[in-house]
Amino acid sequence: RSITAEYTERTPRSQEAFARACRSLPGGDTRTMTSYKPYPTYFAEGRGGRLTDLDGNEYRDFLANYGALVHGHDHPALTEATTRQLARASAPGGPTPLQYEHAERLIARVPSLERVRYCNSGTEATMWAIRTARAFTGRDLVIKMDGGYHGTHDWAEVSPFITGGTAVPQNLSGLPDAQLPRGIPSVVADCVCAVPINDLDVIERVFEERGEEIACVIVEPMMGVAGGIRARPEYLERLRSLCTRDGALLVFDECVTFRLGTWQARFGPVPDLTTLSKIIGGGLPIGVFGGRRDVMDIFDPQGDAPVYHASAFGANSASLAAGCAALDHFSGEDIDDLERKGNRLRGLLEEEASAIGIAATAVGQGSLTYFHFGTGDPRNAAETTKRREGREPLRALVHLALLNRGFATAKHGLICVSIPTTDTDIDRFARAYGSVLEELR
């Protein structure tokens, strides 16, 4: 029996739901990321570290909504804080104390944050961080990493990891063409350049040629969608010193790495601006951008000619209440324990692969793990692409076969441990992964 046949036998209700969804949604889904063949599993509920689908099948949750949750599902304190606030007002139409209560919690944890502003998603947070840098510096040019994922607004989607668009020349000598997904105007490539992460020569050259035109460099300290690629410490330090030298702002996108307690707090350096989202909303939509006080003061609505930033549901009280509870239940000990569990998972996955003679690497940090075929850590997005070449069908089958064995993971390869994940869950997951690899071999 094939993996796909087993999947369809176990999930008839998901199949029915998908057929119905296709009548109102193109391809039956709204999030491209959550769609896969033959159809995605439809989840009915989550409890702690478990998910249940429409057919009643149970899954250990190593997906954690693509890293956006860390407390599991239905955490009593988060549920209580959310429902209590919903019963009061989710969006009263003016500021509430929850706004500064949440902000104070973030500022206490994240070294670069002196002032913050709220929006609704990571996409909005990075869009606004870029706008902030442009407004503050009066410059247009943005440097991002090739394959870096910062959400789906136009400035972020130059040379994303997953592309299907056109190649447009970048206006910097020696850099490959920018890849623009369909729908993004080619003029965007005039003021956003994508450089390979961890390449000191390229970044030096870019600053040599255009340093005084650069508004900001935006970087995920560990690239997520591109496969858990860690920025080398010397690379981040060089970005820091080049930005300082030429008056550009350094932006860390820590939407995902907040799961580690933030990269800047763990490893440095301190950027000028930081973007956050996902777990800081305790399961509800949220986005934050913030950083240096002198930079963020451009938004001061009481000041002269402030930069206008508005959003009907920005800083909504339900997200802030859930987010305060989420931060109060995400301690240093939790982060240390996630680190231990992540290390254990990575070790076991590599052991399983080597026991059956498959060359593989489990990379990542803390609760975030990415599995790659082949040895060694990929150094940049191009290396991840090369490592995956010809293996996409295999990776899709691993994902489906894990679902058949009762484990939910992200189809792009992210494997998350969360607060409710137990050591037994991790052992079982690693054994299941090994047996899937064996079956596919």
User: Where on the chain is the footprint of ligand PLP (CB under 6 A)?
Assistant: 121-123, 126, 149-151, 220, 224, 253, 255-256, 277
Indicate left, alpha or beta for 227 from its phi (over 0: left) and psi (-120 to 50: alpha).
left
Structure tokens at 108: 């206490």
Task: Check: CB of residue 122 under 8 Å from CB of residue 150.
Answer: yes
Task: Check: CB of residue 158 under 8 Å from CB of residue 192.
Answer: yes
Task: Name which of 146 and 425 has its Cβ closer to ligand PLP.
Answer: 146
Task: Name which of 255 and 415 has its Cβ closer to ligand PLP.
Answer: 255
- Active-site residue, 278 included: yes
Question: Residue 228: what are its φ and ψ, rounded to 5°?
Answer: 70, 40
Task: Name which of 122 and 269 has its Cβ closer to ligand PLP.
Answer: 122
383's CB contacts (< 8 A; 6+ apart) are none
Task: Name which of 248 and 286 has its Cβ closer to ligand PLP.
Answer: 286
* Residue facing ligand PLP at closest CB distance: 122
Query: Which of these is catalytic: 278, 341, 370, 411?
Result: 278
Q: How far apart are CA 341 and CA 98, in angstroms?
A: 32
Task: Name which of 202 and 223 has its Cβ closer to ligand PLP.
Answer: 223
Task: Name which of 281 and 434 has its Cβ closer to ligand PLP.
Answer: 281
Task: Name which of 145 and 430 has its Cβ closer to ligand PLP.
Answer: 145
Residues paired with 178 in a beta bridge: 168
User: Smallest distance from the beta carbon of 129 to ligand PLP, in angstroms?
Assistant: 10
- Active-site residue, 118 included: no
User: Smallest distance from the beta carbon of 118 to ligand PLP, in angstroms?
Assistant: 13
User: Smallest distance from the beta carbon of 335 to ligand PLP, in angstroms?
Assistant: 18
Task: Check: CB of residue 154 under 8 Å from CB of residue 189.
Answer: no
Instruction: Tell me the HSE value of 239 on the side-chain side, using a 13 A CA sphere.
Output: 29
Q: How far apart are CA 280 and CA 291, in angstroms?
A: 16
User: Smallest distance from the beta carbon of 126 to ligand PLP, in angstroms?
Assistant: 6
In this structure, the dihedral spanned by the alpha carbons of residues 66, 67, 72 and 73, taken in order and rounded to 10 degrees, is: -40
Q: How far apart are CA 216 and CA 279, in angstroms?
A: 25
Query: Which of these is catalytic: 53, 61, 146, 253?
Result: 253
Query: Could you give the maximum distance between any two Cα atoms of the chain, in Å?
Result: 69
User: Smallest distance from the beta carbon of 127 to ligand PLP, in angstroms?
Assistant: 9
User: Smallest distance from the beta carbon of 4 to ligand PLP, in angstroms?
Assistant: 27
Query: Nearest-CA neighbor of 340 among 258, 420, 423, 434?
Result: 423
Give me the amino acid identity at 72: G
Task: Check: CB of residue 330 under 8 Å from CB of residue 71.
Answer: yes
CA 162 to chain centre: 14
* Alpha-helical runs (H) found in 211-300: 233-246, 263-267, 293-296
Structure tokens at 76: 């009593």
Query: Which of these is catalytic: 39, 66, 118, 149?
Result: 149
User: Smallest distance from the beta carbon of 156 to ligand PLP, in angstroms?
Assistant: 8
Would you please indicate which residues are annotated as catalytic (active-site) residues? 149, 253, 278
